[in-house]
Amino acid sequence: MRFISLVCLCLLSVAAHAQNEADVVRYSMQVPGSTARSYGVAGAFGSIGADPSCAGINPAGLARYRTSNFFLSTGFYTARNKANYLSTSISDSKFNFNLPNLGFIANIRGEDYESKKPQGFVNFVFGFNVNRLNNFHKRSIFDANNSSSSITENWAERATETGTIPDNFSKYSLEHLAYRAWVIDKDTSSPTPAYVSAYGKNPTVNVNQSGSILTRGALNDYNFSFAGNYRHIILVGISLGAKSVRYIENNSFIEEDKKVSSVRDIKKVTFEQYLRTGGMGFNAKIGVNAAPTEYLRLGYAFHSPTVFNLTDSYSYTIMSEFDFGAIDQFGDVRPNTNASTDATIYKYKITTPARHVFSVGLVNKEIGFLSLDIETVNYSSANIISKDRGADAYSFTNENLNIKKTLNPTAVNFRLGGEAIYEQYRFRAGYARYPSPYKEGAVPVLKDLVNNIYSLGFGIKTKSYAFDVAYVNSGYADYSVPYTLKTKTTTYLTNNVRSSNIVLSMGISLD
């Protein structure tokens, strides 16, 4: 299953503190991922129970297990992406093999375990599960001509905004690298420190811009759960979880001058960016399920906010090539240059929002079930804080205000799935819809950021084992901004992604 991707608001326009609402979205978005049985019904297991995915949705459902079990799942995930930049489209794909679930359930029988009309607790369940909640694997390639702007103009604007001389630039900044690489110059006509592109002030631009964006990694949930089944009517559960983040991003942006002119200036500029984020977050989930009748099941679960302790390691490189004999405004020859920052480490915290999950299921043990989950999320409640202490600690005030202004406070996720039973065979189908985490009007392609998920599944269940397979297809879009200019139209790189995931699961009864 392709999980909703982050929306990079400023992919290549980076600064020392690059953490923003895009990071919040990346680690807040999650889709219950676990066994092929769960995938087959699009994760709609909040009220059904007896599946490892319940640990990540509503832990009360684990109490429906009547035996101890071991689970293992494998996934074969492919993301096919069509990138559009300046009206030019290029397609590419990326494959990933992963283990979406590994788990163990220990069932402890209560005093009324054998009773047909129990008066107390039927059983208790302890469980450990690892579930994959988000998959960050994607590759995007773009290549188009641009006659409107150059990325070097962005670097010149950045340098001008500092209002200082080059010696005072931060050694980790893009303006520092751009000046070292000779692709921006001092604006000698300005009475205060100002800078222009090496193409000149208000240049006539005709460049080819190409590059690639490669992301990989995952968000995984490690949880310990406890659940109890009271008379098959009320089930309660709690799950204590640790979420691990591993996110790696490699970006390359290449700009080549295409002007047919005797002017000798920039021939080619290459900008490369590397980012690696790792860390852990902790949260808890509590849930209750009720079965007022044999055929009706109701559920509610609360997921606490997750506090992630994250560490970014990042570096940037600008490589410049010039036409033979190119000189700057002082008559100095521009040398081809490779300028890089040192690897930089920055530590910070992100708190992602709480969730409320409401579930209803119609169940017939001989026929199958139909299940619906409604999940509410207030993305605007998230925040970023620095782990530094003291007067020099970055406040993230603007970033947190932007989270409040741009992220959706009333997002509603929807999951619907069903299973039909024929002897030992199971046939499944599901649909899920995850709306944009952004408010209306906050981003230019809001309607395309909805993630629609379709799934089909098949299983074989016996007393000693269960084997399941699921196919999940997902379509969504995201976008990034290579750079912005104050006086020129912003161009977007949009990605239309169609992902497919084949999941195989095996469950073995240990009783």
Q: Which residue has the tokens 């500029």?
A: 269
Structure tokens of 57? 């949705």
Per residue, what are the HEC states of 1-55?
A: CCCCCCCCCCCCCCCCCCCCHHHHHHHHCCCCCCCHHHHHCCCCCCCCCCCCCHH
Reply yes or no on whether the pLDDT at 40 is more than 90: yes
52 domain residue, yes or no: yes
What does the DSSP assignment read for 393-454?
S---HHHHHHHHHHB-SSEEEEEEEEEEEETTEEEEEEEEEE--SBPTTSSTTGGGG-EEEE
How many domains are there within the chain? 1
Report how far apart, in Å, the C-alpha atoms of 491 and of each of 35, 146, 149, 151 are: 41, 10, 9, 11
pLDDT digits (tens, 9 = 90+) for 436-458: 898 887 776 656 678 899 999 99
Reply yes or no on whether the pLDDT at 205 is more than 70: yes
Alpha-carbon distance of 256 to 208, in angstroms, equals 5
Mean pLDDT, range 328-341, rounded to an integer: 89
Reply yes or no on whether the pLDDT at 18 is more than 70: no
Question: Is residue 12 very low, low, confident or very high in pLDDT (cuts 50, 70, 90)?
Answer: very low
453 domain residue, yes or no: yes
Mean pLDDT, range 412-421, rounded to an integer: 97
336 domain residue, yes or no: no
**Which residues form the domain of 480?**
21-150+224-244+283-305+353-509
- Of 79 and 5, more confident: 79
Please count the residues of the chain: 511
Reply yes or no on whether the pLDDT at 495 is more than 90: no
Q: Which of 122, 126, 124, 174 is nearest to 152 (CA)?
A: 174
pLDDT digits (tens, 9 = 90+) for 142-151: 999 999 999 9
Reply yes or no on whether the pLDDT at 8 is more than 70: no
pLDDT digits (tens, 9 = 90+) for 216-263: 999 999 999 999 999 999 999 999 999 999 999 999 999 999 987 777
**Quick check: helix, strand or coil at residue 168?**
helix
Task: Give the pLDDT of residue 172.
Answer: 87
164 domain residue, yes or no: no
Mean pLDDT, range 29-49, rounded to an integer: 90
Task: Give the pLDDT of residue 5.
Answer: 39
Alpha-carbon distance of 324 to 32, in angstroms, equals 57
Average pLDDT, the chain: 90
Residues near 506 by beta carbon (within 8 Å), at least 6 away in sequence: 71, 72, 73, 465, 466, 467
pLDDT digits (tens, 9 = 90+) for 88-125: 999 999 999 999 999 999 999 988 777 778 888 999 99
Question: Is residue 2 very low, low, confident or very high in pLDDT (cuts 50, 70, 90)?
Answer: very low
196 domain residue, yes or no: no
Judge whether 245 and 278 are in contact, CB under 8 Å. Answer: yes
C-alpha angle 137-142-144 in degrees, rounded to nearest 5: 170
Reply yes or no on whether the pLDDT at 14 is more than 50: no
Instruction: Give the CATH number, domain containing residue 423.
Output: 2.40.160.60
201 domain residue, yes or no: no
200 domain residue, yes or no: no
Alpha-carbon distance of 217 to 70, in angstroms, equals 26
Alpha-carbon distance of 432 to 448, in angstroms, equals 15
183 domain residue, yes or no: no
Q: Which of 251, 202, 227 is nearest to 62 (CA)?
A: 227
Judge whether 103 and 70 are in contact, CB under 8 Å. Answer: yes
